[in-house]
Structure formats: structure tokens, C-alpha cells
A and B are shown apart, each in its own frame.
Chain A
Amino acid sequence: MQVQKTALYNIHKNLGAKFVPFAGYEMPIQYKDGIVKEHISTRTYAGFFDVSHMGQFFLEGDQTLTEALEKIIPADLKSLKINHSKYSFLLNNDGGIIDDLIVTKNEKGFCIILNAACKDNDIKQISRYLEKNHKQLLDNDLSLIALQGPKSVEILEKLIPSVSNLKFMTGNNFNYENENLYITRSGYTGEDGFEISIPNKKVEKLINFLISNEVKPIGLGARDTLRLEAGLCLYGHDLNEKINPIEANLKWAIAKKRKELGGFNGWNKIKNLLTNGSEKIRVGIKPEGKVIARENTKIFSTDNIEIGLVTSGTFGPSVNAPVAMGYVKSNFAEIGTPIKLEIRGKKYGGKISGLPFYKKSYFK
């Protein structure tokens, strides 16, 4: 398959991006400033991220569409209000996570934001539940720009008046240069911010406005350190088809009503795990000192019994220490439990930590 580029490719290039192949796209891993500075500018001012490689999947239909989607998504879509968003997942028959996503209700149906690496399979999986009268569109004419950081609201308000009225996990349509933008107050960094769905032909203008307001471009490298500090999962690393939402410590993302009534893939298994707990569970991990416990680092108890595996690990620039997430046997999951981490054949100390590592500041 040919490597794809987003509409912003040339802008990234002019901004000094270093590119890496990611999910079939040529994407910036970092710009001139480097990962740590990009991370800090997002936390202290604002940064923009090109996330146009993610799928913007639109579904249109009546009540039967909602019912169809509820078979594969454990959110309470029937009660979801127009312009409200939920974090949820696609589940397989075993309750395993096919992808994690953000679903937003709109007037005609739903918009689902899908991970780039998963989107083609996701659409195939969702389509199995759809009926003839349900319309679907993966809209490649739209870019998706995340604007994240404490100054985001002040800056975007200058361009799009009244955008500051949006509350966390809600969205709306806004007019910009006679084009419709759909903006949600959301993101994946642990900061206040927005995700802006904008026609490809207008995206360069938006980016120029952001740059003129000293918003820095942020690459995938800092996106990873930001989301990990915020305790958020990265699909393909912290989540996969063999992991269910209970193990992933994401049971909060299954709607209360759906937990009680079920009717979605893997419900029997999930119901059982909700009552009896799972064998393993996702936890935060703080290595001692400066050593970094990367993905696939083995986790041991203090008496050297293997109890789990790290799924994401890096240095957290805002906590100024290494941070990691992984899965451990549930009886070792309590916050503060001392553990050992095997790195390059040597065992280092560490502790189970609460999540997030970095306190969020969403606008509610």
C-alpha cells in the first residue's frame, strides 16, 4: 500500500518536521523544538496536532442505527444528547477491544473518530451490524486538528467566537469563512482543548492563524508523552483485541444502563468480570530513579515472581520522571505496591501508581 499523506504534509515539512511512517501515513514525530519542548509548550501554552490520519466516520439513520451500534459499542447511545460525545470502544464477541473511539451524536446520526491503524477494519466490523437504510461515510475531505493546552480557548475564541461556551465532551457546528466546522471540546493530552473538524481546503488557513498566535506544532512523540502522563491508553499497545474493558480498567466507559442491561458483544464475559473481577488489570507504574520501563518490560513481585508486562513507558517531561502503564495480576494492583522491573537483564525497583500521573484540567 502506498504511504498516505494528510492535507497538512507540506506545512509540516516547512515547519521542520521529522517524519515517520505511522498507520500507513507519513506523520511528524517531532518538529525543530523536539519532544520535551513540544510537550511543555502544550502544557503551559498551547499546541496543535494534525490528527487527520484518524478516521472521521459518519453514520446516518433512525432509531434502528442507534440499536445496531449499541450491539458493538457499550455506550448508552439511546440517551446520548445531540452534540454530546462519549469515549467508548468497539467490542468483539469475547468482549475484546477492537478499537477505542470517541462517538458524538449529531442531528443525522453519529460521528465516530477511529484510530488510523484500525479504521478500515473498524468500518468492516461496524458494517456487519448496519442495515440498508443506514448511510455511512469515511470523510477524507476533512482534516482533524487538535488544539490542546491552557491557552487554547482564548486563542480559538478570537477566530471562532462563542467556542468558549462548549463544555468538555460536547461539540457544535461553527461557521468559518463560509465553511462549516465541527468543533468538540476534547482531546487526548490531559489538557483543556478542542478537536476541530475542518474541510481540507481551509485547514492551511486555520494553521496559519494558530501559528500567528504562537501555537506550536506538536508531533506524535509529544502526543505520546502527553497522553501517557494523562493516563490515557494507546490502542495497539495498552489495548488490543485480547484485552477487555474491565482488564483495561475502563469500566467507567461502559454506561451504567448498559452494564445492567447488556445487549452488546461480550456482555456475558464482561458481566462476569464486573462481579468477580479480572485476573489482570491495567495500572500506572512509576519506576524508581530515572530508568525507563518501555513496552514489554517484564514486571516482577518483590519476591521475583513474574506478575505482568509494561505496555507503554517513557519519560514524562511534566512529572519530570519516568512513567509507564502495564498489566499486572489483580492482587498486585493496589496503589503503592512495590514491584521490580526487568530492564536489559537487570531488575530495578518501582511502584504501582495511580493514574493519571499528571492532573487534568478539563473545562466542565
Chain B
Amino acid sequence: MSEKKFSKKHEWVSLEGDEATVGITKHATELLGDIVFAEVPDVGKSVEKEGQAAVVESTKAASDVYSPISGEITEGNKSIVDDPSSINKDPEGASWFFKLKVKDKEEFNSLMSKDEYDKFCKENPN
């Protein structure tokens, strides 16, 4: 299985070859509540590390989803756009947001591991 890394803005990334998959964490969905809208980037769009890439909205508010890693979008997940509530059900699996061709793998290595992320969430509960 490919390795998963995490950002301070509550995104996860997994890397296979030079293609990364990005989504939001379970912790993020718990903070957001019921998700009712998602927008994913168009294929071919360039995104910068920590740049705004997608949008997620709950009944409460809209939030930006940032790309934890730079690259070019290769796919957006249409199924979360059609059924935003699926993000609450499987945020770290089927309900990924987008895939991108990674520019610099070092950016991936600098992200948090699962343990580091869990600790980060405990220290920053909101």
C-alpha cells in the first residue's frame, strides 16, 4: 500500500509513482459536520503547495481545500461532486478530492506522518 501523509490544514496525500491522491481527513469531516457541496479542480490546472485547489461546504460553512503538494491536476473525483455526503462516509478512501502529477517529491516527504498528524490534532482540537 502506498504511504499516506498529512498536512496541518487537514488534507491527506498518498503517493504512487509520481501521482498523488489528495483528500480531507476524517478529523476534518468531523469538524465540518454534514457536507453538502464539493467542487474539485479541472484537469490540467496547476496547483501550488498550500494553494487553494478545491472547495468543501457543510451545512455550517464553506472551506477551501488546499493542495499539500505542487503539481498538475490529472483527475477530479466526480462522485463526491454528485454526492457530497459521501465525503462524511469515507473521507480517507473512496471520497478523495483530486489526483495530481507531482512536481517535487521532497514536498511529500516534508508532510506529517499518521502519528505526527494524530498528535497535531490532539494539540489543536479545533
Residues in chain A within 8 A of chain B (CB atoms): 29-30, 34-37, 221, 225, 290-292, 294, 314-315, 317, 322, 344
Contact = CB atoms under 8 A, between A and B. Distances in A.
A36 B34 contact: yes
Contacts of A37: 34
B33 A292 contact: no
Contact of A344 (B55, B59, B81, B84): B55
Interface string B39-61: 10000000000000001011111
Q: Which of A37, A314, A322 has the most CB of B within 10 A?
A: A314
The 9 closest A-B pairs by CB, nearest first: A315-B36, A36-B34, A35-B59, A34-B34, A290-B37, A292-B37, A34-B33, A292-B57, A35-B34
B94 interface: no
Interface in B64-86: 81, 84-85
B62 interface: yes
A349 to B, nearest CB: 15
B60 A35 contact: yes
B55 A315 contact: no
A18 B93 CA distance: 27
Contacts of A314: 59
A290 to B, nearest CB: 5
A294 B62 contact: yes
Contacts of A30: 33
B28 to A, nearest CB: 15
A290 B33 contact: no
Quick one: which of B57, B58, B60, B85 has the most chain A CB within 10 A?
B60
Given A36-B59, A315-B37, A344-B55, 14 more contacts: A30-B33, A35-B58, A36-B34, A36-B36, A36-B85, A225-B59, A290-B37, A290-B81, A291-B37, A291-B39, A292-B37, A294-B61, A314-B59, A315-B36
B34 to A, nearest CB: 4
A221 B37 contact: no
Chain A interface, DSSP helix/strand/loop, else mixed = mixed
A43 B43 CA distance: 41
Contact of A322 (B37, B60, B81): B37
A294 B36 CA distance: 13
A317 B37 CA distance: 12
A315 B59 contact: yes
A37 B85 CA distance: 12
Contact of A221 (B33, B39, B57, B62): B33
Nearest to B33: A34
B40 to A, nearest CB: 12
17 contacts: A30-B33, A35-B34, A35-B59, A36-B85, A37-B34, A221-B59, A225-B59, A290-B36, A290-B81, A291-B39, A292-B36, A294-B62, A315-B37, A315-B57, A315-B59, A344-B55, A344-B62
Contacts of B33: 30, 34-35, 221
A344 B38 CA distance: 13
Nearest to A222: B59
Contacts of A344: 55, 62
Contacts of B34: 34-37
Contact of B60 (A29, A290, A291, A317): A29
Contacts of B36: 36, 290, 292, 315, 322
Given A315-B36, A322-B37, A290 B59 contact: no
Contacts of A29: 60
Contacts of B81: 290
A337 B84 CA distance: 28
